[in-house]
């Protein structure tokens, strides 16, 4: 296992989220929850396709299932709870966060 040192701001954010935040960035999926941080590498071709999202990335806290589908076909509740940012290259970044009270 590789130990990754992160800036203080990451740890500050982690302590203020009860569930998770998922970010797709350059083919690396970053997931954090109350337990810690998991880095997973996905296929580069998936990361480079525009208007794709990892809608079903987390199905349970104990089991991670990786998949992707067109954002237009995503469930309405997912699109309402997600913040979508698109960079200049057209790669879709999906960040779904559940905020908690400050510790």
Instruction: Note whether residue 102 is domain-resident.
Output: no
Domain extent at residue 90: 8-96
Instruction: Note whether residue 72 is domain-resident.
Output: yes
Give 29-55 pLDDT, tens digit per residue: 555 444 444 444 444 444 444 333 343
How many residues comprise the chain? 103
How far apart, in whole angstroms, are the C-alpha atoms of residue 19 and residue 36? Answer: 11
Give me the number of domains the chain comprises.
Answer: 1
How far apart, in whole angstroms, are the C-alpha atoms of residue 65 and residue 35? Answer: 18
pTM of the model: 0.20
Residue 13 confidence (pLDDT) above 50: yes
How far apart, in whole angstroms, are the C-alpha atoms of residue 40 and residue 31? Answer: 8
Residue 95 confidence (pLDDT) above 50: no
More confident residue, 38 or 67: 38
More confident residue, 31 or 68: 31
Instruction: Note whether residue 71 is domain-resident.
Output: yes
Q: Is 27 left (phi over 0), alpha (psi -120 to 50) or beta?
A: left
How far apart, in whole angstroms, are the C-alpha atoms of residue 67 and residue 55? Answer: 7
């Amino acid at each position: 296992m590789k130990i990754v040192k992160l800036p203080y701001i990451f740890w500050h954010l982690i302590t203020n989220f009860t569930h998770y935040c998922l970010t797709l960035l350059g083919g690396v999926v970053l997931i954090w929850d109350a337990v810690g941080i998991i880095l997973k590498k996905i296929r580069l071709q998936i990361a480079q396709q525009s208007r794709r999202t990892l809608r079903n990335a987390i199905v349970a806290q104990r089991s991670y299932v990786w998949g992707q589908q067109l954002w237009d076909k995503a469930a309405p509740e997912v699109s309402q709870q997600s913040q979508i940012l698109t960079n200049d290259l057209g790669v879709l970044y999906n960040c779904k966060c559940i905020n908690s009270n400050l510790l």
